[in-house]
Amino acid sequence: MRYIPNNAPVREDMLRQMGIPEIGELFRSIPEQLQYKRSLEVPGPLAEDEQLDLFRQLSEKNLDQGHALNSFLGAGAYRHASYLVADSLLQRGEFLTAYTPYQPEISQGTLQAIFEFQTFMTMLTGMEVANASMYDGASACAEAVLMADRLKNGRQRVLLAQSLHPLYREVVRTHTRFMGLELDTLGLEGGGAPGSSGRVDAAALKSALGDDVACVVVQQPNFFGVVEDLAPLAEAAHSAGALLIVVVNEALSLALLEPPGAAGADIVVGEAMSFGVPLYFGGPYLGFMAARDEFKRQLPGRIAGETVDTHGERGFVLTLATREQHIRREKATSNICTNQNLVMLTALINLTLLGREGLLETGRRNVSHLGYFRGGLAGLTGYRETFGGPVFNEITLTCPRPAADIVHGCLKRGVLPGLDAARLLKPGGGPPDADRLLVVAITETSRREEIDALLAALREEGK
Amino acid sequence: MSQEKTQTPQPARRPTGSFKHEPLSFEYPRHGHSGVAFRPLDVPEQDPARAMPGASLRQDGLERLPQLSEFDVVRHFTRLSMYNVAIDSAMYPLGSCTMKYNPRINETVARLPGFTGMHPLQPDGLSQGLLELMHILLEALKEITGFAAGTLQPAAGAQGELTGVLLIRSALEARGEHRRYMLVPDSAHGTNPASAHLAGFQVREVRSIKDGPAKGTVDTAHLAEMMDTEVAGLMLTNPNTLGVFEPEIVRIAEIVHAKGGYIYCDGANMNAQVGITRPADYGMDVIHLNLHKTFSTPHGGGGPGAGPCLCTAELEPFLPVPRVVKEGGEKDSGGKEPSYRLEWNAPQSIGKVATFHGNVGIMVRALSFILAMGPAGLREMTETAVLNAVYLRHMLKGVLKASTEAPTLHEVVFSDEGLATHGGINTMELAKRLMDYGFHPPTVYFPLTVPGALMVEPTESEPRAELDRFVEAIKAILAEADTNPELVKTAPHSAPRTRLDETRAARKPVLRWTPPE
Ligand SMILES: Cc1ncc(COP(=O)(O)O)c(C=O)c1O
């Protein structure tokens, strides 16, 4: 086998040196009747060119976004520019094939990268501490809820905005199912009726809050694309002694929007795949978590900190390890061990490359592209913007017919116009007319002609 | 770990050129540069404040973000990479982590645009290639472990564990049983009790045998005593964290099953078993695999990994959604071409564990590895991994004290018994000194049941010459310790940094860069 340096003659020799008659002897501790005597029924072996052929064939059975398909699907997974430098650097074996930096003297590259990423995330979110990464946005959200539960010991209720991504809600439910928490829903202003803002109902929040609520979870911008007004929500939560968790799954919005920390968020979590991570059918992505400084000992996951070596040189180590499972076992703040480090590096390199200028410009371009679409939409009969609140790069439309039919029809024209929201919303779990809602994301990667093609397809299908 | 106060002559201070002192990106001068160029904007420019009326916008202008050219960025990260040791550059015998060669072709196939550009919510009809790929991978993993069903969704081993214990919990609840406890051996990895806790279980520790030939394995008498109808089951690592195949595995399964419990198997040690024995065949109910261990996907400095979870038919109804379903293509389907879809409807499912379908990019790499190996190659992998570990144990006989008399498989754990006779050094100091000899240290101080544990897993990837060099390095370090213990106690001396002050880092945490006053 080409990957294995010790071939049969070498192995024979090693056995001989140890006085072991044959390789099967090595497994004598496995009871005979438990040994698998057949050959595994798995495909292979393939030579390199055969592998390439097979994977090319499989990949060609897919229709990818942006190349083969003109797509405006977002809903937590956004297509943004990724720069070649990032992919080239992260393929350096020193990054790619290292393990978790438990031995800091020979892992400074990874550790300094984590420290830089933590710095980026605190600046972007307006928080004081951030960790090295979480699996993905939804699991980060679930971990934030569990963290709030620890910080607000004894409070059992969690208020989840109806405008939180439905799959995030699902993942929170899975993670909290046996933790004795009660998940309640916080509706939209005006019940999400046509022409309402699409924001969280702040008045309903006030009445739902009580001394049994550990945290309030809202998404910014929310699942329908609407930018929330966070400050009053934070104020309401705090006055009832609850924490405000802000979930950001379009991390690029942080370039332009007020940082949640500045609006009073206690924990900010979400998905940072927008910083140049490929769509990749949902993963690997990049969960992140940031929080106020006073909560740092309750954070899950890995955290890098600055220190010095015996010569007084600056260096970095994994720190506050007493939170983690390898020390605290069942009392740990989380079970997470392996995280998403290389994806963190992708995002970090892209962020570093963009820098201040590039990040702001990318953010503004998203606004301009969505603005162009909204301009065209105004001329389409039958469609309207469902909500009146401000939007960044994603918007919900009410279609003249069921959104599923619109998607189906547009696909025949080579356009994937967005998400048929009812696919993810539970029956009765969304605004009225949920089956006619189409959530459209327009990023800087869409060309004008592509947006024109989307408008044309919507016009035809809306007839 | 003892704090050594003695001052010894320091080896020559290493060079302090910028080569070893890469600033943080935030510390570079800011000249208004960006490393990217934009094509001309092809739509009318909009002012964010006017386009988003009623939205609060950022006031700080992100002034402190880096402003670097593309080349500055390349140099910055290239330098950082040089401060890392990796499996590509050195033997990295981290026990329990299975640091093996990560084939380069896997990086190439994983970057095909027909994979990278796929949106997780696009209609199934547009995703046939990846759904087929996920199906093939899951079938292969079912065959390798012997289980009837599974999910690829968990993002890493620990999430696979959580998924597994949630399956157990759900199956018990479906039977109307609210069992409160989960048994976990004292030698288990920390993620096991942490995952059990997340599933709402109270953890009870099962003792391992303290002496004699079966030392370190599950104490079945203690297990039988603890296993009652309040107990949901047992989380078992097999081979255990000492590398020993549990001799009483069949009996263990009987004890747990007799009381209606389930066994969760931690499959981190699958590199000792692929093609040799199958966890389902020896009575396990559910397992997680680490694709980033056994199936060679790169560890990436700590992920991303993937932690598929496989289970018996009995636990199948509780698996996470969505599940990949194959239709047609069978002999009896009348020549219908196979097609694949995602099934979201499963009333008894535990729900979702990941936002979408898990770390799909990692699945592609793992399948590529399996296909390159084939059935015989996979067996050869396991045999060689075990041979290499047994060889190291053999060559270190009389040098380091193995933690068990029992035969070990893919890894070997040494204790610190007798180590201090060499100039009073401890496990950590031995480990750190190995860096100066060009090795990444083995896992240290795990499992917790072995005093001063040094856990060595060479994997099938190390050539014999490298194993021999490792043995020579250990012997040389012990000899050094006999004559010049301070040299060992203050190691490493040739790494980019000397020993770092972890206490200081934890006492006064500095967790981000802040602008100088
Ligand atoms: C025995 C064992 N179980 C579980 C895990 C957790 O796996 P992961 O790091 O992929 O979450 C590990 C690895 O770190 C391990 O060694």
B103 touches chain A (CB under 8 A): yes
Q: Which residue ranges of chain B lie beneath pLDDT 70? A: 1-19, 331-335
Answer whether residue A42 is part of any domain: no
- Measured between alpha carbons, how far apart are the two ends of chain B, in Å? 37
Element (H, E) at A408: helix A403-412
Helix (H, G, I), strand (E, B) or coil at A246: strand
What type of residue is A9?
P
CA–CA distance, A394 with A78 (Å, rounded to integer): 10
Determine phi and psi for B236, rounding to 5 degrees.
-125, 135
Chain B: closest CA distance from residue A209 (Å):
24
Task: Provide the pLDDT confidence category of residue A131 given band limits of 50, 70 and 90.
Answer: very high
CA–CA distance, A273 with A138 (Å, rounded to integer): 12
Q: Which residue in chain B is spatially nearest to A394 when comparing CA positions? A: B52
B438 touches chain A (CB under 8 A): no
Chain A positions in Cβ-Cβ contact with residue B300 (cut-off 8 Å): 95-98, 341-343, 345
* Site from A32, A59, A367, A391 to mutate, B interface, most B CB atoms within 10 angstroms: A59
Does ligand 1 have an atom closer than 6 angstroms to the CB of B268?
A: yes
Of B41, B117, B199, Cβ closest to residue A65: B117
Q: Do B371 and A44 touch (CB under 8 A)?
A: yes
- Cβ neighbour number for residue B468 with a 10 Å cutoff: 13
Which residues are registered as beta bridge partners of A289? Answer: A269
- Domain co-membership, A313 together with A398: no
Angle at A118 between CA A115 and CA A124, to 5 degrees: 145
Tokens found for residue A309:
């070596």
Final residue in a domain of this structure, among A351, A370, A399: A351
Q: Which pLDDT value is given to residue B12? A: 39
Helix (H, G, I), strand (E, B) or coil at A365: helix
Does ligand 1 have an atom closer than 6 angstroms to the CB of B189?
A: yes
Which residues are registered as beta bridge partners of A129? Answer: A291
CA–CA distance, A281 with B186 (Å, rounded to integer): 39
Atom of ligand 1 minimally distant from the CA of A338: 9
Q: Do B506 and A322 touch (CB under 8 A)?
A: yes
Atom of ligand 1 minimally distant from the CA of A336: 11
Tokens found for residue A74:
């977002």
Q: Tell me the best of A337, A339, A340, A342 to mutate to test the pocket of ligand 1, counting ligand atoms within 8 Å of each CB and taking the most.
A: A337
B residues 374-403 lying closer than 8 A (beta carbon) to A:
374-381, 383-384, 386-388, 390-391, 394
Centre of ligand 1 from the C-alpha of residue A116, in Å? 26
Do residues B298 and A94 touch, judged by C-beta distance below 8 A?
no
Number of domains forming the structure of chain A: 2
CA–CA distance, A296 with A298 (Å, rounded to integer): 5
Q: Which residue in chain B is spatially nearest to A249 when comparing CA positions? A: B355
Does ligand 1 have an atom closer than 6 angstroms to the CB of B237?
A: yes
Answer whether residue A281 is part of any domain: yes
Centre of ligand 1 from the C-alpha of residue A120, in Å? 28
Centre of ligand 1 from the C-alpha of residue B93, in Å? 15
Rounded to 10 degrees, the C-alpha dihedral B441/B442/B445/B451 comes to -110
Rg (CA), chain B: 26
Chain B: closest CA distance from residue A201 (Å):
16
Tokens found for residue B375:
């059935």
CA–CA distance, A224 with A396 (Å, rounded to integer): 5
Answer whether residue A50 is part of any domain: no
Q: What is the sign of the dihedral through the CA atoms of A95, A98, A99 and A102?
A: negative
CA–CA distance, B485 with B491 (Å, rounded to integer): 10
Cα A127 to chain center, whole Å? 18
Q: Tokens 């929330």 identify what position?
A: A228
- Domain co-membership, A318 together with A218: yes
Angle at B249 between CA B247 and CA B250, to 5 degrees: 120
Centre of ligand 1 from the C-alpha of residue A180, in Å? 27
Q: Write out pLDDT tens, residues B418-471.
A: 999 999 999 999 999 999 999 999 999 999 889 999 999 999 999 999 999 999
Chain B: closest CA distance from residue A91 (Å):
8
Does ligand 1 have an atom closer than 6 angstroms to the CB of B127?
A: no
Q: Do A3 and B44 touch (CB under 8 A)?
A: no
Answer whether residue A59 is part of any domain: no
Final residue in a domain of this structure, among A351, A371, A402: A351
- Domain co-membership, A412 together with A329: no
Chain B: closest CA distance from residue A372 (Å):
6
CA–CA distance, B488 with B419 (Å, rounded to integer): 12
Answer whether residue A10 is part of any domain: no
Q: Do B505 and A310 touch (CB under 8 A)?
A: no
Q: What is the DSSP letter of B305?
A: -
Chain A positions in Cβ-Cβ contact with residue B471 (cut-off 8 Å): none
Chain B: closest CA distance from residue A353 (Å):
5
Q: Do B108 and A107 touch (CB under 8 A)?
A: no
Q: Write out pLDDT tens, residues A445-456.
A: 999 999 999 999
- Domain co-membership, A347 together with A368: no
Tokens found for residue B254:
């009987």
- Domain co-membership, A308 together with A365: no
Of B92, B109, B463, Cβ closest to residue A55: B109
- Domain co-membership, A104 together with A193: yes
Chain A positions in Cβ-Cβ contact with residue B276 (cut-off 8 Å): 27, 30, 35-36
Mean pLDDT over residues A302-311, rounded?
A: 97
CA–CA distance, B383 with B271 (Å, rounded to integer): 9
Q: Which domain holds residue A335?
A: 84-351
Q: Are strands A437-441 and B181-185 parallel, antiparallel or unpaired?
A: unpaired
HEC sequence for B311-355: ECCCCHHHCCCCEEEEECCCCCCCCCCCEEEEECCCCCCCCCCCC
B94-130: b or e for each residue (b if 16 or more CB lie within 10 Å)? Answer: bbbbbbbbbbebbbebbbbbbbbbbbbbbbeebbbbb
Q: Give the neighbor-by-neighbor strand order of the sheet with B262-266.
A: B149-151, B309-311, B286-288, B262-266, B231-237, B181-185, B202-206
ipTM above 0.95 for this complex: yes
- Domain co-membership, A391 together with A250: no
Chain B positions in Cβ-Cβ contact with residue A58 (cut-off 8 Å): 114, 129-130, 132-133
Helix (H, G, I), strand (E, B) or coil at A299: coil
- Strand locations in B329-484, DSSP E? 339-343, 401-402, 412-415, 443-444, 454-456
What type of residue is B369?
F
Q: Which residue in chain B is spatially nearest to A115 when comparing CA positions? A: B512
Helix (H, G, I), strand (E, B) or coil at B91: coil
B residues 398-427 lying closer than 8 A (beta carbon) to A:
406-407, 409
Cα B311 to chain center, whole Å? 20
- Domain co-membership, A282 together with A189: yes
Q: Which pLDDT value is given to residue A158? A: 98
Of A51, A62, A101, Cβ closest to residue B105: A51
Answer whether residue A5 is part of any domain: no
- Domain co-membership, A301 together with A429: no
Least Cα distance to A96 among B276, B326, B298, B270 occurs for B298
CATH at A213: 3.40.640.10
Centre of ligand 1 from the C-alpha of residue A266, in Å? 30
Q: Do A308 and B409 touch (CB under 8 A)?
A: no
Element (H, E) at A356: helix A341-377
Centre of ligand 1 from the C-alpha of residue B191, in Å? 7
Does ligand 1 have an atom closer than 6 angstroms to the CB of B307?
A: yes
Q: Write out pLDDT tens, residues A144-191.
A: 999 999 999 889 999 999 999 999 999 999 999 999 999 999 999 999
- Domain co-membership, A99 together with A112: yes
Q: Write out pLDDT tens, residues A51-84.
A: 999 999 999 998 776 667 899 999 999 999 999 9
Answer whether residue A395 is part of any domain: yes
CA–CA distance, A434 with A401 (Å, rounded to integer): 11
Chain A positions in Cβ-Cβ contact with residue B371 (cut-off 8 Å): 43-46, 51, 54
CATH at A435: 3.90.1150.10
HEC sequence for A14-74: HHHHHCCCCHHHHHCCCCHHHECCCCCCCCCCCCHHHHHHHHHHHHHCECCECCCEEECCC
Rg (CA), chain A: 25
Of A112, A284, A336, Cβ closest to residue B158: A336
pTM over 0.80: yes
Chain B positions in Cβ-Cβ contact with residue A282 (cut-off 8 Å): 120, 354-358, 360
Final residue in a domain of this structure, among A321, A351, A381: A351
- Domain co-membership, A194 together with A281: yes
Q: Which pLDDT value is given to residue A66? A: 64
Answer whether residue A3 is part of any domain: no
B136-168: b or e for each residue (b if 16 or more CB lie within 10 Å)? Answer: bbbebbbebbbbebbbbbbbbbbbbbbbbbbbb
Centre of ligand 1 from the C-alpha of residue B483, in Å? 38
Chain A: closest CA distance from residue B359 (Å):
4
CA–CA distance, B160 with B320 (Å, rounded to integer): 11
| pLDDT above 90 (res A331) | no
- Strand locations in B202-285, DSSP E? 202-206, 231-237, 262-266
Tokens found for residue B125:
């009809």
Which residues are registered as beta bridge partners of A288? Answer: A270
CA–CA distance, A250 with B36 (Å, rounded to integer): 21
Pairs from B415-419 (Cβ < 8 Å, separation ≥ 24): B415/B450, B415/B451, B415/B452, B415/B453, B415/B454, B416/B451, B416/B452, B416/B453, B416/B454, B417/B451, B417/B452, B419/B452
Least Cα distance to B252 among B314, B199, B209, B311 occurs for B209
| pLDDT above 50 (res A95) | yes
Q: Which pLDDT value is given to residue B15? A: 43
Q: Give the closest residue (by CA) to ligand 1 atom 12.
A: B268
B164 touches chain A (CB under 8 A): no
Task: Provide the pLDDT confidence category of residue A322 given band limits of 50, 70 and 90.
Answer: confident
Centre of ligand 1 from the C-alpha of residue B94, in Å? 12
CA–CA distance, B300 with A347 (Å, rounded to integer): 14
For B222, B399, B402, B412, B427, the CA distances from B452, given in Å and listed in that order, are: 25, 15, 11, 13, 6
- Domain co-membership, A195 together with A307: yes
Element (H, E) at B192: helix B191-198
How crowded is the C-beta side of A40, counted as CA atoms within 13 Å?
A: 30
- Cβ neighbour number for residue B11 with a 10 Å cutoff: 13
Do residues B475 and A18 touch, judged by C-beta distance below 8 A?
no
